[in-house]
Amino acid sequence: MLRKLAWLKYLAFAFILGFIFSILMYQGYWYPFIAGIKTIRWWAYPLWVILTFWVTLTIHELGHLFAFVFQGVKIRGLFLHMLSLYRSPKGWRIKLKIKLWFLLGGFVVPDLGVIADDQTYEKRLVQFRRSLIAAPIVSIAFLSVTMLIFLILNIVHAPANVLGLFTLFTVYTTLLSILYIRSFSMSNASFYGDFVAYKKMKDDPVFQVTQLSQYTMFALHPSEETDRYFFERIKTMIQSIDLKSSLFYQMLLLNYMEGVCYHQYPDDPIVREKLMRYPLHPHFHTEQGLTLLYDLASYHYTIGHIEKAYQLIETIQKKASPKIDEKMRLYLEKKHLHILHIAYDQPFLDHADHVVYRNSKLFEDILDLQEIMRSMHEPLPFKRWETPVDLEPKEEKSNITS
């Protein structure tokens, strides 16, 4: 029913627009407005698109940033399209990175510090939620202020060139803000608008723990306490939920298995039983799924199920979808054959062009990606895989009875 009446909002918008236009015409404001538009040169139109995009984007991201700062959370980095402002061990740095032109947006990276208890964890959740909702509020407020200034300039009969340029800025700000506001409620498998992420940060425990866990890697001073706390929290969560094949459940399992494989945290028997029964079929067709399957093979190897690990590797090689990027498939295969002691592929893994970073490349200023990859390429502690063979002949029992 609501969808059928959706046209009403467009009718209401047209009515309001017509009403405003009538007032402008009747009060004599329309002609100065047109005169102002005529003062704008043709080259100013694309220039003001770029300027307005930068201003509205910066205002939005500063909403996230100041929400964190006002709550006492430190900032590790601010990324605005091709501009990178980040905190290194030697202080703040700024870079212009042309290769990030495709980003067409921005993001703020907080430094969540040490999270080693439930109280701090809940506090960080609240701070994160407030930051998520602050930016949309700031964007909507900026649009409102811009439109108010535009009306005031018309009322006071500002100079034609000033009125013309601010009219252009107002139009572009309105169009971009509508686009932003629309995106706040959008989501897909890997993207969540601010409104959607805010709601999931309130109601979805799996989303909460995977997101906070992901952001802890950006801390200027990494903490073993934080790593151990999240491992225990994730372990407890897996024990109590039904596992699904969606993205954030995959991330949950990846975090647990990496803790067992790379940090040598003790494996939990309840989680192990769930992983043994976890369905493999849905994961052969995506990069994230393939990563999970290979890590599952590493997990089997680490807990001593060597034969199961090798069998899974063979299954992955046979069933991995050819639609997955070939470079990624080759990298994952070479990496895991190497760390599971099946093949020696160190020269391949040492070649920078062979390693697939994907979105991690965006964070190369605040993460030592090469060191992270080197640690992930280290072979796992060697496990003996042997089958006892008795070569001594057994005495045949006589079937003759006395």
Q: Which residue has the tokens 């300027």?
A: 51
Report how far residue 38's alpha carbon sits from residue 32's, in angstroms, rounded to the nearest whole number. 10
Answer whether residue 319 shows pLDDT above 90. yes
In three state form, how does the secondary structure of 233-280 look? HHHHHHHHCCCCCCHHHHHHHHHHHHHHHHCCCCCCHHHHHHHHCCCC
Residues 191-198: what's their mean pLDDT? 87
324-334 in b/e burial notation, b at 16+ Cβ within 10 A?
A: beeeebebbbb
Quick one: what percent of the chain has pLDDT higher than 90? Answer: 55
Of 365, 371, 401, 392, residue with least CA distance to 84 = 365
Residues 74-80: what's their mean pLDDT? 92
Answer whether residue 138 shows pLDDT above 90. yes
pTM above 0.75, yes or no: yes
Tokens describing residue 213:
């866990």
* pLDDT tens figures, 362-399: 788 888 888 888 889 999 999 887 767 766 766 554 45
Confidence of residue 316 (pLDDT cuts 50, 70, 90): very high
Residues 31-41: what's their mean pLDDT? 69
* pLDDT tens figures, 253-291: 999 999 999 999 999 999 999 999 999 998 999 999 999
Answer whether residue 300 shows pLDDT above 70. yes
pLDDT for residue 363: 84
Report how far residue 100's alpha carbon sits from residue 93's, in angstroms, rounded to the nearest whole number. 17
Report how far residue 389's alpha carbon sits from residue 384's, in angstroms, rounded to the nearest whole number. 15
Q: How long is the chain?
A: 402
Of 154, 147, 133, 301, residue with least CA distance to 201 = 133
Answer whether residue 5 shows pLDDT above 70. no
Contacts of 118 (CB under 8 A, 6+ apart): none
pLDDT for residue 258: 94
Tokens describing residue 277:
């029964």
